[in-house]
Amino acid sequence: MNYYMARELALPFDAAVTATIEALKREGFGVLTDIDVQATLRQKLGVEFRKYRILGACHPPSAHRALQAEERIGLMLPCNVIVQERGPDRTEVAAIDPAASLMAVGNPMLRDVGTEVRAKLERVVQGIGAP
């Protein structure tokens, strides 16, 4: 089982980031964190890296259900979505498969939450750039 779902897009990086955030909003997610990995590595290590952003996405109703089922599940929240440059006007968007990661917890009450959030994130990844 993969721990992620991904799709390559014929979009410039910045347009892909914007489209990803909009697709997340359509599915009820908010972006709690936005980490610019390229800028961070340049600032902290003085190294160059491709354009790469980590978006910490949260679907509040699902997060609430998960927290009610497992008090330490916050260690696995939010759901990370990455946007990374693959070439000129080529970008990959990938999202964590929450069902795969929540299976590691071993709490059967999390199965439905993980499955529902996975379906939402699959729609996000597949729906980027759709009208």
Query: 7 to each of 31, 90, 97, how far by Cα in Å?
Result: 19, 11, 13
Query: Does the global pTM surpass 0.85?
Result: yes
Cβ-Cβ contacts under 8 Å for 25 (sequence gap 6 or more): none
Q: Which two tokens stand for residue 129?
A: 């750039």
**Under a CB-based contact definition with an 8 Å cutoff, are residues 36 and 11 in contact?**
no
Instruction: Give phi and psi for 77, each to the nearest 5.
Output: -110, 155
Please count the structural domains in the chain: 1
The answer to whether residues 97 and 116 touch, using CB atoms and an 8 Å cutoff, is: no
Give CA–CA dist 81/72, Å, rounded: 21
pLDDT in tens, 81-123: 999 999 999 999 999 999 998 888 989 999 999 999 999 999 9
Q: Name the 3-class secondary structure at 80.
A: strand
- Tens digits of residue pLDDT in 34-56: 999 999 999 999 999 999 999 99
CATH number, domain containing residue 39: 3.30.310.70
Strand 90-96 versus strand 79-87 pairing type: antiparallel
Per the structure, the complete domain to which residue 57 belongs is given by 4-127
119: tokens are 């379906």
